[in-house]
Every structure is written in C-alpha cells, then in structure tokens.
Amino acid sequence: MNICVIGSGYVGLVTGAVFADMGNDVICVDMDEERIQVLRKGECPIYEPRLPEMIAHNQREGRLEFTTSTAFAVRRSEIVFICVGTPPKEDGQTDLSQVEAAAKEIAEALNGPKIIVTKSTVPVGTGDFVRKVIEAHRHDGSSFEVVSNPEFLREGQAIRDTLQPDRIVIGTSSEETAARLSELYRPLERPILVTDMHSAEIIKYASNAFLATKISFINSVANLCERAGADVKAVAKGIGADTRIGPSFLEAGLGYGGSCFPKDVDSLLHTSQELGAPFEVLGAVVAENARRVPRLTQRVVERLGDGGPKPLSGKRIAILGLAFKPDTDDMREAKSIEICARLKEAGAALRAYDPVAMEKAKAIIGVQDVEYCRSAYEAAQHADAAVIVTEWREFIQLNLSRLGDSMNRPIIFDGRNIYSPEQVAAAGIEYHSTGRSSVMPREK
C-alpha cells in the first residue's frame, strides 16, 4: 500500500519504518528540514534500538522516503497517518495546533479517496475536529474517512512494540475502512479491535491513566512500607502474582515521567472535567506523583544537609541517569530535570552521567549547573552521595565497591530500587532506596 506518515518523531519514524519493512511504500514527512536532511543521509535523529538499521535497510530497498512536503506525500498515498506532537497547554488541556495544521495541509493536498488515520494521542472528539478542518479547507471533492488508531509503543522498545502490539485499536464506523486498515496490519498477526472513533480515542488515555494509577498506587504502598519496616519489592511481588493485577508497573520509585504519561493523565483529567464527569482517582494519582521527587531530595537534604539556607553547599552529588527511562535519549518530563533543579537550589555541586541522553540533557538542564561526566565512576568520584535516577542496565552491573571507594562519602539514594540492600551494604555503601529500610555499610 502507499502510505504517508506526517510527523517523523519517535512514533512517526517507527511507524513508517515498520510499515516499510512490511513491504509498503512509505513517505515520512516532517516540517523540520534538518531532521529530514539527517534522515535522507541515512542517519537516525533519535536514539531507539533497532530503528537506524530498519530505516537504512528500507531506504536502500526504495520503500522508505523522507520529505518536508506534506502535499507531495499525501498526493502519493491512499492512507495518511497523523503522528505529530500533542503537547500539553498550561492548564493540562492538549494543544492540538500541530494536528490542526497537519489536517489543513492534508485537505489542501487531497486528490482522491484517502483514509486519514490519527495516531497521535488526542482527546475524545478530535477525530470529528479533524474531519471538520479537512471539510473546511479542501478543494477536491474526493471521499475521505478519518480514523482513530492510537499508538501504544514504548520508547526503548518501540520496534518490538510496533511489530508485536498487545492489540491494534481501529476506531471507525466505516466497515470498509476498518477492513482496509485491518488488511494493512494483517501481517503482524495481532488482535485487532474495531470500535467507534470516540471509544478508540478514550482507550488510549484510559490505558495510560490506568498504568499511571498503578505507579502512584505502588508508590503510596512504598510510603507505607517505609513507615512499617516492610519491603515494597516483596509486597509488589505478592500483589503482582495475582493474575487479576499482574506484575508490571508496580515498581516503586520516582514516579512516572516522560513525554506521555504526565500530559495524557492531565489531558484526561481536563476532558473529564470539561464533560462533567469528574475523575477524582486521577487527581490523587497526579498528586502522589508530584510528591516523589521532593520526597527523595528531602531525604538527601536530611542526610547530608547542614541546616543552613543552602543546606547542601559544599556537597558534591552524582546523578546517575538523565533520560526519563532506560534505552531512550528522550528528556521530556525526565525526573532528572526536577532533581537537578532541587539539589542545585539546595546548594549542591552536581556531576551527571547518562549513557545516551547527555546531549539532549545539556540543552534542557544546561551546562552551567551540572558537570557532565564520561561514566558513572567519573561522576561519583569524590561525591558525597550518588542518586540513581534512571535504571540503565549498565548501572545495575556497576562495580559497587569501586564506586564506593572513589566517593568522598559512600552513600547511594536509589530512586529506582535497582540494587538489593544487602549487595550495597556488602560493598561498604550506605543505601537509601524506596519503600525499603535504609541499610548501613558493612565492613568489607
């Protein structure tokens, strides 16, 4: 099939590359000329495992092209995917300006029947809005259908998620359009759920909100465990063994961040208020999430601070991990941003390391307040404490004795619970994690 994908970011590039890999002819569009230049050179502008190889292969085979011209791409395609950004506004509402702009450009380029698929995460009713925008701006009388096909991929494992999604949701009332899209997805051999458009739009937000709820729930349990002297990891294992609950998204720590959960939860809250169906549970989910970073930084201040107005002045703190999660360079709503700001505010000198997100972090956190290092060991050298912010694999296998020996004070605050307290204590390090008792170093 001839497909075009508008918006070549994390979702658009993966979608385009996978459809091309399945044998379709795909054109990916982006308004960012530099990005398109990079892609045309055969390079990948984002860090996503397996994506660069898939892009390069399909480009070589002539099935994947890149352009800045939406008109060119739309005219050549029968199915048009909208994968542009839907960032939050100040009040939590979703900013649909990129979707609206894409819809206008599609309308102006219409030259025959098209299926227009919204893959961007958009509030319920946006499909109707896209249809109206296209109706208002088109010069061609051809038929078109607007469909909701929300995306559920996770950065860091986006190719796998796109090739093996748990389900494919197609929101349309047109049987013919549902059949056409089902045909496109058929080679994946995954469950396809056809719904009306409004339900499909809500499925995406409700899924993310439910996962965010699990995270805030286990974090509240962690608070309880700390008071009660219990171990949240054991409790999570016990809860997750129940098949009605499942083990995923029950890791206590710094809470959810990233480019999706915070904005999607806020957007659903906003929509539910707007529609007069208050969603009180979600308000509590957001409130607990907002307390996670202050809670951890407060523990650092209590342990190391001198009680003064800048309690951490003269203290050096290593920040291990900057990306919002492992296997991505995405810094949007990363917990490291707030952690660095709070520790800096308290007077600490910060030295950070992340395996892939350092360049993006420099642009967001800045280069004045943080010294960027080449390894976790370098960041921890002469530090008064290390804070684990992102659970990168390479941190899990660190030589803790070596790390501790190089520190001024061997203390770890683990925002992701990646170590066992015994293991850290045995390496001669004091260890403060989440929802578990702190442990003092043992003689080595």
- Residue 29 as a binder of ligand NAD (CB under 6 A): the answer is yes
**Distance, CA of 246 to CA of 219 (rounded, Å):** 16
**Distance, CA of 215 to CA of 218 (rounded, Å):** 5
Which residue number, 107 or 400, has a Cβ lying nearer to ligand NAD?
107
**In the complex, minimum distance from the CB of residue 370 to ligand NAD, in angstroms, rounded to a whole number:** 24
Which residue number, 10 or 66, has a Cβ lying nearer to ligand NAD?
10
Q: Is the backbone of residue 248 left (phi > 0), alpha (psi -120 to 50) or beta?
A: beta
**Is 260 noted as a catalytic residue in this protein?**
yes
Name which of residues 254 to 283 contact ligand NAD (CB under 6 A). Answer: 259-260
**In the complex, minimum distance from the CB of residue 110 to ligand NAD, in angstroms, rounded to a whole number:** 16
**In the complex, minimum distance from the CB of residue 125 to ligand NAD, in angstroms, rounded to a whole number:** 15
Count of residues touching ligand NAD (by CB under 6 A): 28
* 30, 288, 354, 414: residue in contact with ligand NAD (rule CB under 6 A): 30
The continuous run of DSSP H or E covering 222 comes out as: helix 197-228
Which residue number, 84 or 322, has a Cβ lying nearer to ligand NAD?
84
**In the complex, minimum distance from the CB of residue 380 to ligand NAD, in angstroms, rounded to a whole number:** 30
User: ∠270-101-195 over CA atoms, to 5°?
Assistant: 55
Which residue number, 84 or 107, has a Cβ lying nearer to ligand NAD?
84
- Residue 9 as a binder of ligand NAD (CB under 6 A): the answer is yes
Which residue number, 114 or 316, has a Cβ lying nearer to ligand NAD?
114
Which residue number, 316 or 360, has a Cβ lying nearer to ligand NAD?
360
- Residue 84 as a binder of ligand NAD (CB under 6 A): the answer is yes
Nearest of 408, 370, 362 to residue 386 by alpha carbon: 408
**In the complex, minimum distance from the CB of residue 393 to ligand NAD, in angstroms, rounded to a whole number:** 19
* 102, 334, 373, 383: residue in contact with ligand NAD (rule CB under 6 A): 102
User: For 370, phi and psi rounded to 5 degrees?
Assistant: -135, 135
CA atoms within 13 A on the CB side of 423: 10
**Distance, CA of 173 to CA of 155 (rounded, Å):** 30
- Residue 15 as a binder of ligand NAD (CB under 6 A): the answer is no
CA distances from 267 to 68, 127, 179, 201, 225 (A): 29, 16, 31, 12, 31
**In the complex, minimum distance from the CB of residue 74 to ligand NAD, in angstroms, rounded to a whole number:** 11
* 134, 153, 370, 412: residue in contact with ligand NAD (rule CB under 6 A): 153
**In the complex, minimum distance from the CB of residue 352 to ligand NAD, in angstroms, rounded to a whole number:** 23
- Residue 7 as a binder of ligand NAD (CB under 6 A): the answer is yes
**Distance, CA of 115 to CA of 146 (rounded, Å):** 6
Which residue number, 168 or 376, has a Cβ lying nearer to ligand NAD?
168
Q: What six digits make up the tokens of 26? A: 């795909």
- Residue 10 as a binder of ligand NAD (CB under 6 A): the answer is yes
**In the complex, minimum distance from the CB of residue 335 to ligand NAD, in angstroms, rounded to a whole number:** 16
Nearest of 282, 255, 280 to residue 266 by alpha carbon: 282
Which residue number, 102 or 334, has a Cβ lying nearer to ligand NAD?
102
Q: Is the backbone of residue 125 left (phi > 0), alpha (psi -120 to 50) or beta?
A: left
- Residue 12 as a binder of ligand NAD (CB under 6 A): the answer is yes
User: For 184, phi and psi rounded to 5 degrees?
Assistant: -60, -40
Given the residues 28, 83, 260, 340, the one annotated as active site: 260
* 16, 85, 171, 404: residue in contact with ligand NAD (rule CB under 6 A): 85
- Residue 86 as a binder of ligand NAD (CB under 6 A): the answer is yes
Q: Which residue is nearest to ligand NAD (CB)?
A: 9
**DSSP structure string for 16-34:** HHHHHHTT-EEEEE-S-HH
Going residue by residue from 53 to 82, which x/- string records binding to ligand NAD, judged by CB under 6 A? -----------------x------------
CB neighbours of 41 closer than 8 A, spacing ≥ 6?
A: none
- Residue 155 as a binder of ligand NAD (CB under 6 A): the answer is yes
**Distance, CA of 321 to CA of 365 (rounded, Å):** 13
Instruction: Spell out the long-range contacts of 90-96 with Cβ–Cβ below 8 A and sequence spacing 24 or more.
Output: 91/270, 92/263, 92/266, 92/267, 92/269, 92/270, 93/267, 93/270, 94/121, 94/122, 94/123, 94/263, 94/267, 94/270, 96/122, 96/123, 96/126, 96/129
Helices (H), 229-260: 232-240
Give me the active site residues, please. Answer: 260
By CB under 6 A, name the binding residues for ligand NAD. Answer: 6-12, 29-32, 35, 70, 83-86, 98, 101-102, 105, 120-121, 151, 153, 155, 259-260
